[in-house]
Amino acid sequence: MSEAIRPHHGSAWVRIAPLLLLAVLWQVAAMRLHSRTLPAPSAVLQVLWAEVVSGELLFHLGKTLFRVAVSFVLAMLVGVSLGILMGRSRRLDRLLDSFLIFGLNVPALVTTILCYIWFGLSETAAILAVVVNKVPMVAVTLREGARAVDHSLLEVASAYRLSARTRFFKVYLPQFYPYLFSAARNGLALIWKIVLVVELLGRSDGVGFQIGNFFHFFDITSILAYTLAFSALILLLEGLVLRPLENRLNRWRT
Amino acid sequence: MTLHVAIHNKQWDDARCAIRGLQFDVAAGEFVAIVGPSGAGKSTLLKIIGGLDTRYDGQVTLPAATRLGTMFQEPRLMPWLTVQQNLRLVRPDATREHLHALLGSVGLQAYADHFPNQLSGGMQRRVALLRAFMVEPQLLLLDEPFQSLDAPTAAQLRTLLQDLCRHRQPSVLFVTHSLPEALALASRVLFLSAGPSRVILDWRVDLPAGRCIESPAVLDLAAQLLVRHPALLSGGVQTAPTA
């Protein structure tokens, strides 16, 4: 029994130890340098706590989280459909491939500014900017998935006259899980980054907006406090949602 | 269940003719083996009968709502479903007890919750064979299902197939390129010509039940057939001159 548990604990420590080490190094460096540009972790934690208590942090974090969630869902829906369609139809693929390459390479800053100019400094324009940045990457990943679909398994579904629903959920879609996951994980990472830029450029709330403010006042402690809160959120999401889900869906590979 | 097959013409994608003028009937409960050289369109023929390929000129007549069981050259189990889930895929109403009894009858009771890639090739094929029988088929389409297995495993699976067929009495179409395998399993063997394929010999097998590919009666008959029709397995029609 203890043997069954130990590897799990071990792997948790392996993940946490480097973070603790980094915190210690940071504290030591801050104490020795005495620089305004590198506040000590203790100072950062103090600010973080104050921001949590005042409700400021949670408000802005909530706004950012909302934008991330909405644009993530939209980008996945559009990207997955587009990718699968392009993987299935060579004509559609040839028709849209240049747009995809273009979309993959246009800097997020350009699409964001253009969205704000064309559609105004609105929530819709902000989310549209993020979605436009993200869709090509999802589409490219899912296109690979659609090209790799195993037709011999679809033939089994036809041979046994499986219903369209069973065929889709039990035979077709599982072939896309690895690609969906790769798109979701890389996509989430990209979206966090873009949402902050979009908030910095044209919103009056959210983590990106706050960090922009702190930059004006050269408030590095607050910038680091927000970064810390943000990183913690991402690690939680990864550890509590993404990784368990992925392990569950990939059980059969082991 | 009677199956009528009359395929006037079937072309490959490159417009070469695969099947021309191929006709035969299969009666209820009949075990028919189909033997022919590789490239004779045997797999294509099964796909047409199974409704997986509809681009041909001719008719395949089956009673409406005939239950079909199929086994391919590879096991083709869904790798993301357990053994049990793979069986339930084709038969969602199967009870847990029923599935366990079935798996027990082929020696796989301990593997119900294993994934296919945790099983040996022979075990995967046993599951694929069970899957074909799950739907209580009236017609079973088997496309060289025991190919690329070692001899003892293949023999074991043949016995299993014979047992299942004896109990359930489906009509069977069994494609193979092994004459002894065909003669050991089938009550009738259809020999196909090289492409474009058609039936060159329709042979009724009158041998005692419980035979296997190594039974003397099977090997004798195989030898006799080859003496009488030397080019039979390469799809030739010429008959040896009778002395």
Q: Give per-residue pLDDT as tens, A121-157.
A: 999 999 999 999 999 999 999 999 999 999 999 999 9
Co-location of B171 and B56 in the same domain: yes
Co-location of B108 and B210 in the same domain: no
Residues in chain B: 243
Query: Where a domain ends, among B135, B161, B178?
Result: B135
- Which structural domain, as residue segments, surrounds residue B113? 75-135
Query: Where a domain ends, among B135, B164, B182?
Result: B135
How many CA within 13 A on the CB side of residue B117?
Answer: 9
Co-location of B146 and B32 in the same domain: yes
Co-location of B148 and B220 in the same domain: yes
| A232/A244 Cα distance (integer angstroms) | 17
Q: Give per-residue pLDDT as tens, A111-128.
A: 999 999 999 999 999 999
| Region of residue B148 (phi > 0: left; psi between -120 and 50: alpha; otherwise: beta) | left
Co-location of B81 and B37 in the same domain: no
Q: Does B80 touch chain A (CB under 8 A)?
A: yes
Q: Is A159 in contact with B81 (Cβ distance < 8 A)?
A: no
Average pLDDT by consecutive 10-residue portion of chain B (243 residues)? Answer: 89 85 92 89 91 91 90 94 95 91 90 94 94 94 91 92 92 93 94 87 89 91 90 70 47
Co-location of B131 and B179 in the same domain: no
Query: What is the mean pLDDT of the segment spanning A17-23?
Result: 88
Co-location of B131 and B158 in the same domain: no
Query: What is the mean pLDDT of the segment spanning A21-48?
Result: 88
Which residues in chain B touch residue A155, judged by CB atoms under 8 angstroms apart? 52, 72, 76
Q: Which residue of A has its CA nearest to B46?
A: A159
For chain A, domains (ranges, CATH) are 60-249 (1.10.3720.10)
How many CA within 13 A on the CB side of residue B195?
Answer: 17
Co-location of B124 and B157 in the same domain: no
Q: Give per-residue pLDDT as tens, A77-122.
A: 999 999 999 999 999 999 999 999 998 999 989 999 999 999 999 9
| B198/B23 Cα distance (integer angstroms) | 7
Number of domains chain B is built from? 2
pLDDT value for A6:
47
The contacts of residue A50 (CB under 8 Å, 6+ apart) are none
Tell which B residues from 94 to 153 touch A, by Cβ distance under 8 Å.
115-117, 131, 135, 141
| B194/B192 Cα distance (integer angstroms) | 7
What CATH code is carried by the domain that includes residue B216?
Answer: 3.40.50.300
Co-location of B34 and B7 in the same domain: yes
Of all residues in chain A, what percent carry a pLDDT higher than 70? 96
| Region of residue A120 (phi > 0: left; psi between -120 and 50: alpha; otherwise: beta) | left
Query: Where a domain ends, among B115, B135, B155?
Result: B135
Co-location of B183 and B83 in the same domain: no
Q: pLDDT at residue A3 above 70? A: no
**Which of B84, B90, B115 should be substituted to probe chain A, the one whose Cβ sees the most A Cβ atoms within 10 Å?**
B90
Co-location of B113 and B213 in the same domain: no
Which residues in chain A touch residue B50, judged by CB atoms under 8 angstroms apart? 159
Which residues in chain B touch residue A251, judged by CB atoms under 8 angstroms apart? 115
Q: Is B52 in contact with A159 (Cβ distance < 8 A)?
A: yes
ipTM over 0.90: no
Reduced to 3 states (helix: H, G, I; strand: E, B; else coil), residue B76 is coil
Q: Are B115 and B82 in contact (CB under 8 A)?
A: yes
Q: Which residues of A212-228 are buried (b: 16+ CB within 10 A; e: fewer)?
A: bebeeeebbbbbbbbee
**Mean pLDDT score of chain A:** 89
Co-location of B6 and B115 in the same domain: no
Q: Are B51 and B120 in contact (CB under 8 A)?
A: no
